[in-house]
Structure 1
Amino acid sequence: MSKRLIFILLILGVTTSAFAQEKNMWKTLSNVTVEKSFDEILSIDVEHYNFASQVKALNGKEISLEGWMIPLDELRGENYFVLSSLPFANCFFCGGAGPETVAEVFSKKEVKFTEKKVKVTGILTLNSDDPLRLMYILNDVEVQEVKD
């Protein structure tokens, strides 16, 4: 096999791998285990998250996720919303999935609620210990509607 062909195959492999990673980011983020412990202050069991190394490597990095806004009436029209990897009827809060399928989103600009699929790009922060926040938090987010 020629060096040029090997080089082209390597480039295609890297490009395909990077594209596949972006398309399957929710799958990557699902690599987490959950431990419960009793919180004396809150007087309830709270979850603590142990992220796999590939998830930890994304902490502080810019990532993109596609999903649906969860309709939170009191927060519509602001720069905060929750993004679900699943449509509303199947989302974590509706009983169809786990906490690894949602992320808190803080956008750069005010965002109007939409039922259409959106793509968000921002800086990922992992939350393993604050029981009042979701495990994934995206900051400085830009939001785009996904065209099917």
Structure 2
Amino acid sequence: MLHRLLLKRLVLGAGALAGASLLASASASALAGALNEPPSFFAPLTDIPGVVSWKLLGKATTVKASKGRMVPKYTPDIRALDNTDVKVQGFMMPLEPGQKQKHFLLTVTSASCPFCLPAGPEGVVEIKSRTPVKFSYAPFILQGKLTVLASDPMGLYYRMTDATVVPP
């Protein structure tokens, strides 16, 4: 009885895998045929008045410090944001399992791999929110206190604390 049940699961699993493979190849060809009109999650975020632009945050560069260590170098416009209340728009990249997150990354582009950062340190803000935020694939706006990090041990450039979701 157990052997028949396992065999049935294997056959069903193989059928589901074949179906998923067929669906993936169909989706890939549909995407390849529509390269002039990519899905919205591939589109860059548009600047919104009153929201810090990723173009501005992206102007940070790295310089070699003592002992060959690389540290961020910020423009005066970026340094002026340090310890101020700002709004930032982006995509959630959870750091832990679960539908609601209090500590996560906000990124300039949507993540395409759960194990890879979708941007360099200039395209990521570490978020520590006041209350848990429900995961979403859609971009959203957060408001909180932004810290421009001089030499973070994890290599981060920006951190927002006491963050809250801005209603649409």
TM-score, normalising length: structure 2: 0.61
**Greater C-alpha radius of gyration:** 2
After TM superposition, the structure 1 = structure 2 runs for residues 103-122 of structure 1, keeping only pairs within 5 Å, are 103-122=125-144
Matched residue type, 1:59 = D
Quick one: which of 93, 100, 105 aligns to 2:122?
Answer: 100
Matched residue type, 1:28 = L
What are structure 2's unaligned runs of at least 5 residues?
A: 1-46
Determine what percentage of the aligned residue pairs are the same residue.
Answer: 28
Matched residue type, 2:94 = P
Q: How many residues matched?
A: 122
Contact 1:75 1:81 in 2 (8 A): no
Give 1:94 deviation, angstroms.
3.3
Counterpart residue number, 1:68? 91
- Is 1:35 equivalent to 2:63 in the alignment? yes
Give 1:74 deviation, angstroms.
3.8
Tell me, in whole angstroms, the C-alpha distance in 2 between the residues paired with 1:67 and 1:50: 22
Give 1:101 deviation, angstroms.
0.4
Which deviates more, 109-118 or 20-29?
20-29
Give 1:59 deviation, angstroms.
0.4
Give 1:76 deviation, angstroms.
5.3
Counterpart residue number, 1:50? 73
SS of the residue aligned with 2:132? coil
**Structure 2 CA distance for partners of 1:113 and 1:107, relative to 1, 3 Å:** same
Contact 1:46 1:131 in 2 (8 A): no
- Is 1:59 equivalent to 2:82 in the alignment? yes
RMSD of equivalent CA atoms: 2.9
Tell me, in whole angstroms, the C-alpha distance in 2 between the residues paired with 1:81 and 1:52: 25
SS of the residue aligned with 1:59? coil
Tell me, in whole angstroms, the C-alpha distance in 2 between the residues paired with 1:145 and 1:94: 29
Give 1:72 deviation, angstroms.
2.8
Give 1:134 deviation, angstroms.
1.5
Contact 2:130 2:163 in 1 (8 A): yes
Counterpart residue number, 2:146? 124
Which deviates more, 98-107 or 19-28?
19-28
Give 1:107 deviation, angstroms.
0.8
Quick one: which of 131, 141, 144 aligns to 2:163?
Answer: 141
TM-score, normalising length: structure 1: 0.68
